[in-house]
Amino acid sequence: MSEQYLSPKLNFLPPLVYHSEPCRFTYVFYYFWRIHCFRRQVIISKLFKFCRQLVGQSEAKAAPVTCTEPKLIPRSEHNISRKQFSPNAIKVLYRLKDGGYDAYLVGGCIRDILLGIEPKDFDVVTNATPEQVKKLFRNCRLIGRRFRLAHIVFGREIIEVATMRGHHQGQDSKNPISQSSEHGQLLRDNVYGTIEEDAERRDFSINALYYSVNDFSIHDFANGIKAIKERKIELIGDPETRYREDPVRMLRAVRFATKLDMQIAPATKAPIKELADLLSNIPPARLFEETLKLFLNGKAEQNYHMLREMGLFKQLFPTLDAIIEQSDSGFESRFIAQMFANTDQRINADKKVTPAFVYAALLWFPLLKRSEQLQQQEQMPVFDAFAQAMNHVLAENSQHIAVPKRFTLGARDIWHIQMRLDKRGGQRAYRLSQQPRFKAAYDFLLLRVESGENEQQELADWWTDYLKQDINGQKEMVKSLPSQEAGKPRRRYRRKPKKKPQNND
Ligand code: ATP
Ligand code: MG
């Protein structure tokens, strides 16, 4: 048997060299025996793979979670007390109750308290319409077109009051209260209904928990308490339909999985990769809000990895994702992960973070790439190319994520300063360090070094030292810069004095 017929995987076989008859027989026997073993291994592993697929598919095709008769958990059987709620939320509940309406605390606040987490906000649901709610509260403002809500404002705290949602009567582009797109996305969701219907319209089973002030019981419509115990994020209803109705639910699944340290149930996870591109139908302003929730909640690094794994990051930051995919060194992904890790650390230490910094980092590699293209293809000078590339990447990003101008201005400042950090001669270092965004730009330089840009190490060390010095120390540092680093002093041009017109007379 010639070696060329062996599959490359069979190259563990010794070369076929034999000298005598018995030796030749042993070799042939040995060859056949190894091939037999290899085939057996392949068959067994294929069988395992098939079984795993079957189990995975059956999990992914598990019957959808539905809302049934609610399980009532009386006060004596749960550990939620009114003291854990915001007093303003309690006020709203009682005012609605006294006004003759049903009112419940719902969703995240109940889920979080059950998990021992401090709720971020308190959401109330009632059978009063937004207009009826407004009549009860002087401090109420109605918001939203797609999803009409009442905000009850108590200084800096806002209690969101939603009217119970009902089911839609199919697609109708002219319906003023309910409207969906050709993709099945709900464009307007103002059909009011019963509490049972409202529970069905909630996203995950862990979010369909209602707390009543009538008897302090919890109403669990979709086995949410069981899902909390099993640490499972599962969509209510058919996952594909629910994602089509509102693709942002894919981002919410990731956010809750990391925030609550839970697993996304296989059936809830399965359609995400395929439906990820539906995020392109979400208004850019809403996507900006959602990215802030993902990146400024102390779990940004985990969210980043999970978004990438599930094909969602690509929808949010397509140019950056392509650069990361094509990178051999992995530097770009390390930089982004490091930026998110630093952001998480700052948030968990109650330090300030700004979306300007996060967006400066997220668009940094697309900016460098574009700038390089402009220099190479259009022979633009470095500074011009960089300035034009900034406009380009910000405009491209705004097509799908609307970052408010105050943050894009901040990102521009951070980028500009990167270009000027090595020009330190004369008064330059001092002037640069006095700029409002200098600290953020310096942190950005440290981030570049931390994630592997070793060429910038010396510059970063110099600035670290400089910032520790008093004014005299700083002057000394500038004086002792090598002459080429200090940069040439700017030449001042003097206008030639105008010649006086000669009088020939
Ligand atoms: P957190 O406030 O910690 O982000 P949350 O669950 O309270 O979590 P909110 O955005 O405050 O999230 O929404 C309140 C409730 O409204 C949710 O618990 C959920 O029941 C419902 N909800 C929010 N967004 C959606 C959505 N896109 N689809 C269906 N239900 C939703
Ligand atoms: Mg909430």
Q: Verify that 429 and 302 share a domain, yes or no.
A: no
Q: Are residues 181 and 275 in the same domain?
A: no
Q: Is residue 404 part of a domain?
A: yes
- Ligand 1 centroid to residue 202 C-alpha, Å: 8
CATH number of the CATH domain containing 111: 3.30.460.10
Both tokens of residue 203? 């996203």
Nearest CA among 289, 417, 296 for reference residue 350: 296
Q: Are residues 125 and 225 in the same domain?
A: yes
pLDDT (0 to 100) of residue 1? 38
The reply to whether 7 and 134 lie within a common domain is no
- For residues 101 and 176, membership in a common domain is answered with yes
Q: Give the whole-angstrom CA distance, residue 359 versus residue 316.
A: 12
Q: How far is CA 193 from CA 107, 137, 151, 168, 237, in A?
A: 17, 22, 20, 10, 17
Distance 204 CA to ligand 1 centre (A): 9
- 194: tokens are 């019963």
List pLDDT tens digits, range 45-59. 677 666 566 555 555
Residue 203 CB–ligand 1 contact under 6 Å: yes
Q: Examine the domain organization and report whether 268 and 348 are in the same domain.
A: no
Residues marked active site are found at 121, 123, 203
Residues with CB under 5 A from ligand 2 (ion): 108, 121, 123
- The residue whose two tokens read 């002057």 is 475
Strands 218-220 and 209-212: antiparallel
C-alpha 125 – ligand 2 centre gap (Å)? 12
Res 167: pLDDT: 80
Alpha-carbon gap, residue 492 to 16, rounded angstroms = 83
Ligand 1 and 338: CB distance under 6 A: no
Say if 264 falls within a structural domain: yes
- Residue-wise pLDDT for 213-255, tens only, equals 999 999 999 999 999 999 999 999 999 999 999 999 999 999 9
pLDDT of residue 11: 43
User: Could you give the 3-state DSSP secondary structure of residue 214?
Assistant: coil
Q: How confident is the model at residue 18 (pLDDT cuts 50, 70, 90)?
A: very low
DSSP category for residue 260: T
Mutate to test the pocket of ligand 1, among 117, 207, 221, 235 (most ligand atoms within 8 A of CB): 207
Residue where a domain terminates, one of 45, 60, 75: 60
Quick one: 74 and 167 in the same domain? yes
Domain that holds residue 153: 65-230
Instruction: Say whether both 143 and 73 belong to one domain.
Output: yes
Question: Looking at 60, 77, 95, which one is the last position of a domain?
Answer: 60
Residues 86 and 208 in one domain: yes
In a domain, 436, yes or no: yes
Q: Where is the domain boundary, 194, 211, 230?
A: 230
| Ligand 1, atom 28, residue with closest C-alpha | 203
Asked whether 107 lines ligand 1 (CB < 6 A), one says: yes
DSSP type of residue 265: P
Average pLDDT over residues 281-307: 97
Number of domains observed in the structure of the chain: 4
The tens digit of pLDDT for each residue in 480-503 reads 888 666 555 555 556 777 776 666
Q: Are 374 and 385 in contact (CB under 8 A)?
A: yes
pLDDT (0 to 100) of residue 8: 40
Residue 312 maps to a domain: yes
Does residue 504 sit within a domain?
Answer: no
Whether residue 213 sits in one domain with residue 116: yes
Q: Say if residue 199 is in the same domain as residue 311.
A: no
* Range 387-397 burial, b when 16+ CB lie within 10 A, else e: bebbebbbeeb
Is residue 138 one of the residues assigned to a domain? Answer: yes
Q: Is residue 460 part of a domain?
A: yes
Q: Which atom of ligand 1 is nearest to the CA of 208?
A: 20
Ligand 1 neighbour 247 (Cβ under 6 A): no
Place of tokens 């464009």: 187
Q: Which atom of ligand 1 is nearest to the CA of 162?
A: 16
Residue 106 Cα to ligand 1 middle (Å): 9
Q: In sequence order, what DSSP letters do the residues of 345-377 get, joined into one string?
A: HHHHTT----HHHHHHHHTHHHHHHHHHHHHHH
What does the pLDDT read at residue 64? Answer: 79
User: Which residue is it, tokens 């995975």?
Assistant: 56
The residue count for the chain:
505
Strands 157-163 and 149-154: antiparallel
348 and 298 co-located in one domain: no
Q: Are 247 and 223 in contact (CB under 8 A)?
A: no
The answer to whether residue 494 sits within a structural domain is no
Which tokens is 233 given? 């994020």
Averaged confidence pLDDT in the chain: 87
